[in-house]
């Protein structure tokens, strides 16, 4: 009997996707260049089947020794899922598949964190050989195993064929509450609820949307870290006390997976020293590039996403540990502890509001960026659907994505989330607390680049007048770059002869 789908690349994500697919009654043929990984995947399936699915005697995953064996084990036209590192390895596998005899109506799905422009190019270059399809995956290893959020894009022919598998393996949301249905049991996948997958659009759009998801993820993580910094350095709370605060926040409008895991991290003791583990973790952040790509894309297209960019910079500053150590002795600043007169509980509540506002501001930036890129590329992105598939499975899953979904359902053309009634009202009501949190941070010298840049974004967008008039004057002064006038039709250009007679010329 032939197999339904081939999985190539059996690292953590590939192995778990294979097991997830098998749990959903599809037969999987699996291959990795590292034969130990093939053995490990087959063994894991066997272990889980024996423990949880005693009635099944036949293996649901076939381990293959090479790509030819994999291809000949699959039902035609074939479906192949790639889970290999982004970049050259994706092309390497595609070329090897061509050599191994892949056919033109077979589908190859790239599930890595590929750069979206590479995906656009790949669809064009492999078009003759097979359907190159892409599906960005979010949710880390647990998501891949028990239900990720899936962002597929590319040919609709390919999508129609894989959609049933995708709906089965995706995370599910309770249709009534909009909350994730979480069940992490091998052999017992969640089959009820709304699947967190939707066809995003033409080639590249799914990876673009996932890239922005990651940009938001970077900012969301950094916002939580800044709150931790303020509570620990500013208020003097212990790691586990901050964990308690986060647990409480997680019960309200800040409810999210990232808030939940941050509380857990803060409350974990170090197995070696018994100190809070977080205090033993070196403060140098890593990154694989997706946040950077988001910031670069926002700069290229001219869409402000300062909080996402600041989150990337914050990781960069963190890696400069030696310089920070030197400068901590050289540069003066206030003591990080907040004033003794401060009402601690009141400040914690203000910070909760500040964090919520900053979070909304950062999602507004991400959604606006997707909208601008979509316009440029001619993609018809459905933002209500995108917010919906981020409600479960993915790293930025959060209760408030339900409000974003509703905002776009009410107005699919919404230019900026800050214009949605619900968010305009909430932010207007909480903005005083946001300002207090930022000013306390500034006065105590605790850096809060994301919370404060999110506020600057909010203030910039609520300013009908910005000082760009002076900026245009400066540009005209030294470079004759011209300016428009407030009292003349748009598009009419003027230049003042700054260095001679100071006469105004209409160009």
Binding flag, residue 217, ligand 6PG (CB under 6 A): yes
Binding flag, residue 113, ligand 6PG (CB under 6 A): yes
Binding flag, residue 395, ligand 6PG (CB under 6 A): yes
Binding flag, residue 138, ligand 6PG (CB under 6 A): yes
Taking a C-beta distance cutoff of 8 angstroms, is the pair 7, 28 a contact?
A: yes
Residue 131 annotated as part of some ligand binding site: no
Q: Which stretch binds ligand 6PG (CB under 6 A): 49-57, 285-293, 376-384, 479-487?
A: 285-293
The three state secondary structure string of 450-504 is HHHHHHHHHHHHCCCCCCHHHHHHHHHHHHCCCECCCCCCCCCCEEECCCCCCCE
Catalytic (active site) residue 247: no
**Least CB distance from residue 148 to ligand 6PG, whole Å?**
7
What value does the CA radius of gyration of the chain take, rounded to a whole number of Å? 26
Nearest to 317 by CA among 447, 415, 128, 213: 447
* Interface with ligand 6PG (CB under 6 A), residue from 290, 298, 365, 399: 290
* Interface with ligand 6PG (CB under 6 A), residue from 139, 189, 206, 393: 139
Active-site annotation holder among 45, 217, 226, 352: 217
88/442 with CB nearer ligand 6PG: 88
**Least CB distance from residue 168 to ligand 6PG, whole Å?**
19
Residue 288 annotated as part of some ligand binding site: yes
**Least CB distance from residue 226 to ligand 6PG, whole Å?**
17
* Interface with ligand 6PG (CB under 6 A), residue from 11, 140, 336, 447: 140
| Separation of alpha carbons 432 and 435, rounded Å | 5
252 is written with which tokens? Answer: 């309200």
* Interface with ligand 6PG (CB under 6 A), residue from 8, 61, 394, 446: 394
Output the CA torsion sign for 230, 232, 237, 239.
Answer: positive
CA 113 vs CA 300, 343, 371, 505: distances in Å: 20, 45, 20, 52
**Least CB distance from residue 287 to ligand 6PG, whole Å?**
4
The residues, ordered by sequence, that sit 6+ positions from 28 with a Cβ below 8 Å of its Cβ are 3, 4, 5, 6, 7, 18, 21, 22, 60, 61, 62
What's the half-sphere exposure (Cβ side, CA atoms, 13 Å) at 137? Answer: 29
Residue nearest to ligand 6PG (CB): 138
Q: What length does the chain have?
A: 507
Taking a C-beta distance cutoff of 8 angstroms, is the pair 185, 48 a contact?
A: no
Binding mask 185-214 for ligand 6PG (x = CB under 6 A): -----------------------------x
Give the number of residues in contact with ligand 6PG, rule: CB under 6 A.
Answer: 13
Residue 462 annotated as part of some ligand binding site: no
Active-site annotation holder among 172, 210, 267, 359: 210
Residue 35, class by beta-carbon neighbours within 10 Å (0-12 exposed, 13-18 middle, 19+ buried)?
Answer: middle
Catalytic (active site) residue 210: yes
Binding flag, residue 288, ligand 6PG (CB under 6 A): yes
Q: Which stretch binds ligand 6PG (CB under 6 A): 115-123, 135-143, 255-263, 267-275?
A: 135-143
Beta strand segments in 314-472, E:
none
Q: Which stretch binds ligand 6PG (CB under 6 A): 241-249, 281-289, 334-342, 429-437?
A: 281-289
Taking a C-beta distance cutoff of 8 angstroms, is the pair 158, 207 a contact?
A: no
**Least CB distance from residue 257 to ligand 6PG, whole Å?**
10
Residue 218 annotated as part of some ligand binding site: yes
Binding mask 315-354 for ligand 6PG (x = CB under 6 A): ----------------------------------------
111/233 with CB nearer ligand 6PG: 111
Reduced to 3 states (helix: H, G, I; strand: E, B; else coil), residue 5 is strand
68/287 with CB nearer ligand 6PG: 287
| Separation of alpha carbons 57 and 438, rounded Å | 61
The three state secondary structure string of 103-165 is CCCCEEEECCCCCHHHHHHHHHHHCCCCEEEEEEEECHHHHHHHCCEEEEECCHHHHHHHHHH
76/288 with CB nearer ligand 6PG: 288
**Least CB distance from residue 394 to ligand 6PG, whole Å?**
5
**Least CB distance from residue 291 to ligand 6PG, whole Å?**
6
| Separation of alpha carbons 383 and 213, rounded Å | 12
286/467 with CB nearer ligand 6PG: 286
* Interface with ligand 6PG (CB under 6 A), residue from 167, 287, 337, 416: 287
Residue 140 annotated as part of some ligand binding site: yes
Nearest to 222 by CA among 458, 447, 437: 447
194 is written with which tokens? Answer: 């709304």
**Least CB distance from residue 470 to ligand 6PG, whole Å?**
38
The contact set with ligand 6PG (CB under 6 A) reads 113, 138-140, 214, 217, 286-288, 290-291, 394-395
Annotated binding site for substrate: 113, 138-140, 213-214, 218, 288, 315, 475, 481
The catalytic site residues sit at 210, 217
């Amino acid at each position: 009997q032939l197999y339904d789908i081939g999985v190539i690349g059996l690292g953590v994500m590939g192995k778990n996707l294979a097991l997830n697919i098998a749990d959903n009654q599809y037969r999987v043929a699996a291959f990795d260049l590292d034969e130990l990984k093939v053995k490990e995947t087959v063994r894991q399936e066997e272990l889980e089947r024996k423990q949880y699915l005693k009635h099944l005697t036949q293996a649901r995953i076939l381990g293959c020794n090479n790509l030819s064996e994999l291809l000949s084990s699959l039902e035609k036209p074939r479906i192949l899922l790639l889970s290999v590192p982004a970049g050259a390895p994706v092309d390497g596998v595609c070329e090897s598949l061509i050599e191994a005899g892949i056919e033109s109506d077979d589908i190859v799905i790239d599930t890595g964190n590929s750069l979206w422009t590479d995906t656009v190019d790949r669809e064009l270059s492999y078009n003759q050989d097979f359907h190159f399809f892409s599906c960005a995956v979010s949710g880390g290893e647990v998501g891949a195993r028990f239900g990720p959020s899936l962002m597929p894009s590319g040919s609709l022919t390919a999508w129609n064929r894989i959609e049933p598998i995708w709906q089965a393996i995706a995370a599910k949301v309770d249709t009534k509450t909009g909350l994730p249905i979480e069940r992490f049991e091998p052999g017992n996948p969640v089959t009820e609820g709304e699947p967190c997958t939707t066809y995003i659009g033409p080639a590249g759009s799914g990876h673009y949307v996932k890239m922005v998801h990651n940009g938001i993820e970077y900012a969301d993580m950094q916002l939580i870290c800044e709150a931790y910094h303020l509570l620990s350095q500013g208020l003097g709370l212990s790691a586990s006390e901050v964990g308690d605060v986060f647990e409480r926040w997680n019960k309200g409008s800040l409810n999210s997976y990232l808030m939940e895991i941050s509380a857990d991290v803060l409350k974990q003791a170090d197995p070696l020293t018994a100190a809070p583990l977080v205090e033993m973790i070196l403060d140098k952040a890593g990154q694989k590039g997706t946040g950077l790509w988001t910031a670069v894309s926002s700069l290229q297209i001219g869409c402000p996403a300062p909080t996402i960019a600041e989150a990337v910079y914050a990781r960069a500053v963190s890696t400069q540990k030696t310089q920070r150590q030197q400068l901590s002795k050289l540069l003066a600043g206030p003591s990080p502890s907040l004033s003794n007169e401060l009402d601690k509980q009141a400040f914690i509540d203000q910070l909760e509001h500040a964090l919520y506002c900053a979070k909304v501001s950062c999602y507004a930036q991400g959604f606006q960026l997707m909208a601008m890129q979509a316009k440029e590329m001619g993609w018809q992105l459905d933002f209500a659907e995108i917010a919906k598939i981020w409600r479960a499975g993915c790293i930025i899953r959060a209760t408030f994505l339900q409000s974003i979904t509703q905002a776009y359902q009410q107005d699919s053309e919404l230019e900026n989330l800050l214009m949605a009634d619900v968010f305009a009202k909430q932010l207007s009501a909480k903005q005083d607390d946001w300002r207090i949190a930022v000013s306390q941070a500034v006065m105590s010298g605790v850096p809060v680049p994301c919370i404060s840049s999110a506020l600057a974004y909010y203030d910039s967008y609520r300013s009908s007048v910005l000082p760009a008039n002076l900026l245009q004057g400066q540009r005209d002064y030294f470079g004759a770059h011209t300016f428009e006038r407030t009292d003349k039709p748009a598009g009419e250009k003027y230049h003042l002869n700054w260095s001679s007679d100071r006469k105004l010329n209409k160009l």
